[in-house]
A and B are shown apart, each in its own frame.
Chain A
Amino acid sequence: MTGDLINKFFFPKITRHYLLRVVLVALVTFIIFKYVLIPFRIQGESMAPTYVTGSFNFCFTMRYLFSEPAPPDIVTVRMAGRKIMLLKRVVATEGQSVEFREGDLFVDGKKVDEPYVSGKSKWNLAPAVVKPGHVYVVGDNRSMPAESHVFGQTPVERIVGVPLW
């Protein structure tokens, strides 16, 4: 009985129904991994130690169907398309003021506790108000000078989704 099942599984009869199932599974898989769970590999240390270079993840694109990105969400930001994206943490939303003083983050003048940040360098950045329809994103690894770190505000439409884990 078991041998029969195994045989059927590995050597199925190629019928019209079987082919239809194969096409359907392939189509659903394609849609899921192209539009819902986009696989990606992390390159770069900007989100270390939370995400390290070389690790693998999926970008879940339906996370913000019914909500907006908010601190301290980690999001993927598209560039020209979705093949290369930036992985950053949301620290402020529209209308909020963001400032760095000696490496500490201040949102609306209040110091933000960031247990996830590693190696704070003494970043100093004048207050900037997040524009409407934008969010402010920064990486967790702040050990490098602010000039070498890619961060700032970006339109919400650029946010593709969140890492699955």
Chain B
Amino acid sequence: MTIHLLLGLVLILFVFAAVRALAPSRALLAGTVLGIGALALLAVNYQALLSPEFWAGLIGFVAILSALMVVIHPNPMVSILFLIVNLFCIALFYLILRAEFLAVLQIIIYAGAIMVLFVFVVMLLNLKAEEGLRLGGGPQRWGALLLAVVFVLLMFHALHDRSDQPYVEPGAFESGFGSARALGGLLFSRYLVAFEAASLLLIAGMVGAVVVAKRKVG
């Protein structure tokens, strides 16, 4: 039920993309018709809107699509914006997986700090869209294809083999799982040395970034 609804929405999106690519003048009409179709689909299957599977599937689809756009889009600025969408999707996944503190950290650190750094550098360097991808040829291609097939089979095997693992109900946890208090308690007791080493790493990174990026004096 849920999966059919998701597949229907994805199909509608692909039809719209195809119409936009092949006949741009009809895009508005097609968008209206397909949008009404999507709303009708949702209205018929309105029970699915209450299931977490539907939302997880939708977020997963958006995450995969935005990741693909990061890789495919020639303009680095658009890539950054799609990467921010992807990071928000992963923060939502963290919320579903009961890691609420990590979800907040993900938005603050990744979307808030690291991505701003990327945006600043791209605007500072005034980067234009690059000409093309490096889809290298030669004998490497066949080796890469072989390795990709092996990887897909390996992942399928690994995921298929553990399918008899029981799913843990979210209610079965102690109440503090994933909270800032629990994470901080662990950080300042069992992982104190690693925590201090991380501060050292951040200092080294900060000094290194300044030294590498600064203009040569004299």
**A in complex with B:** no
